[in-house]
Chains A and B, each alone.
Chain A
């Protein structure tokens, strides 16, 4: 049922603007993968090219190793869920879901009873039994989302593509649907690609996350890898919060204004760079405990933890540091700062 999708150096140009600039990506059968990036990064364009909704200007997109770019949309059998769902407003929920079956040529079309059996099956699957007679305008946003998904699943797609599937929903519904989509994917096993600009969503839901920036693929890896070992400065910055410290690296040791601050870098790295450190990877110690020191200027609540802002001499921006212990420092107190984990990227 599910197939692999291979992107080979895929490119897309709109006039003078290069929306996608040579993206290669191998998606395994049954994989749930997120295309993550800021707006304008080319993620939706890439998804629409996979669906055959946009022409491919360069490269190839292969399904199970076969180039389908010459096939009609009908023969591609791709389930696509639009950002605004694109439900047919003059059709009931059941008619929307049945649409893909009813428009088949007579020879391939299932019988009316078979269609209605499949529609009720799909309604059960998306937990919308009883709503078949309603019209899109009479159901909630989350329900519409699920109708759109059921409609896409009705054609027994080889691949399921979702464009910002939760973009139009409020926070609570979004969380519930995320869980639900994850379960659904586990049950149906479709190769699934979804586009999102919400990192939390991508990290929580996807087997692997593909991060795009300005039409280029920055990194593809599992959620833990992209978060803890970002491949580029962009990924590091885009995922979660970071402090940036300009450093000089020699033999894997980073120095800030000649003070050694971190030594866990690869031993072959050298030269000027920027050290990216997440707030939870900074530790407050006694003033004498680290040569890297400063003064606490502010302490504020940050969700479940507290966070200190520490001014370091010579650093233009204060460092954000998570306070782990119950008793924290006081404002104005001098502290030492220790870096437990960091990534270095060329200064830029």
Chain B
């Protein structure tokens, strides 16, 4: 009884294989992910404080970061709106081909980004399927920042739908019926009964969509045009610096991307925690 005070770092279990399981997991994680990422940070730091700031604040870097994060934000917001509508339609309504459509939502997860990239380019290029229709009106999509947004909408489309869908499915009918019986209009019911519980899921989907879109490369480079300062995304800048053997320059952009991403993810996570508390989900 006397040795009980000291709490071991893991609870006793009669199941075997903890050591080997954790050993393989931690070793693989360190070798494949953590040590290489540490190398990135070390490389970026090797530029020295002054060098780091100079590389980070160079107009080309700033513009590339602005495009990557700006376009990702717009794409994620577009997907919030359409994602909720799609999730709503898939959960609440019946129409022919619904199951097929539901399955197709995951296409951007499964379709390699290079394939998506060339397909989107073929659609939105000035001589393309849709681009050709818009060209006479003076609207250009491919080879402009708008093209970047279009590609990012594609790759981050499933995230919102897939996080909102299950929550919408579990929304109790009684809640809506109670609201209707209390005399609330349908719009009012949707706004104040159905939407609030969706908010945490929506934020989760938003984070996932944003994280994916910020780092996206394959589907963007074909359609972007890649003009430095205009339609050059941050990942592409990394590739270009690497091709010039400017390892430190590439590492600085990489570290900046990760730093901004993680700050965004963390702040949205705390916003989400706040929303959950406010709405009474503990």
B14 touches A73 (CB 8 A): yes
| Docked complex Cα distance between A13 and B1 (Å) | 9
The contact size tier of chain B is: under 10
A58 touches B4 (CB 8 A): yes
* Chain B, Cβ-Cβ closest to A55: B12
- Chain B residues lying within 8 Å of A15, measured Cβ to Cβ, are 7
A13 touches B12 (CB 8 A): no
B1 touches A22 (CB 8 A): yes
Write the nearest CB–CB distance from B262 to chain A, whole angstroms: 32
A52 touches B14 (CB 8 A): yes
| Docked complex Cα distance between A241 and B11 (Å) | 40
| Docked complex Cα distance between A11 and B11 (Å) | 16
Q: A54 on the interface (CB 8 Å rule)?
A: yes
B12 touches A11 (CB 8 A): no
The contact string, 1 if C-beta is below 8 Å from chain A, for chain B 208-219, is: 000000000000
Q: A26 on the interface (CB 8 Å rule)?
A: no
Write the nearest CB–CB distance from A224 to chain B, whole angstroms: 34
Write the nearest CB–CB distance from B46 to chain A, whole angstroms: 45
Interface of B is mostly: loop
Residues 1 to 32 of chain A near chain B (Cβ within 8 Å): 11, 13-15, 22
Q: A53 on the interface (CB 8 Å rule)?
A: yes
Q: A57 on the interface (CB 8 Å rule)?
A: yes
B14 touches A11 (CB 8 A): no
Residues 72 to 99 of chain A near chain B (Cβ within 8 Å): 73
| Docked complex Cα distance between A57 and B5 (Å) | 11
* Chain A, Cβ-Cβ closest to B2: A58
Write the nearest CB–CB distance from B18 to chain A, whole angstroms: 14
Write the nearest CB–CB distance from B2 to chain A, whole angstroms: 8
* Chain B, Cβ-Cβ closest to A18: B4
- Chain A residues lying within 8 Å of B14, measured Cβ to Cβ, are 52-54, 73
| Docked complex Cα distance between A48 and B1 (Å) | 18
| Docked complex Cα distance between A54 and B11 (Å) | 10
- Chain B residues lying within 8 Å of A54, measured Cβ to Cβ, are 12, 14
| Docked complex Cα distance between A55 and B11 (Å) | 10
Residues 1 to 43 of chain B near chain A (Cβ within 8 Å): 1, 4, 7, 11-12, 14
Write the nearest CB–CB distance from B108 to chain A, whole angstroms: 34
- Chain B residues lying within 8 Å of A14, measured Cβ to Cβ, are 11
From the candidates A52, A58, A73, name the one contacting B1 in the complex (CB within 8 A): A58
* Chain A, Cβ-Cβ closest to B15: A53
| Docked complex Cα distance between A52 and B12 (Å) | 11
7 pairs of A and B residues whose beta carbons are closest in the complex: A55-B12, A58-B1, A13-B4, A11-B1, A53-B14, A57-B4, A15-B7
Given contacts A57-B1, A73-B14, 9 further A-B contacts (CB under 8 A): A11-B1, A11-B4, A13-B4, A15-B7, A52-B14, A54-B14, A55-B12, A57-B4, A58-B4
Q: Could you pull out 11 A-B pairs where Cβ atoms are within 8 angstroms?
A: A11-B1, A11-B4, A13-B4, A14-B11, A15-B7, A22-B1, A52-B14, A54-B14, A58-B1, A58-B4, A73-B14
Residue ranges of B at the interface with A (Cβ–Cβ < 8 Å): 1, 4, 7, 11-12, 14
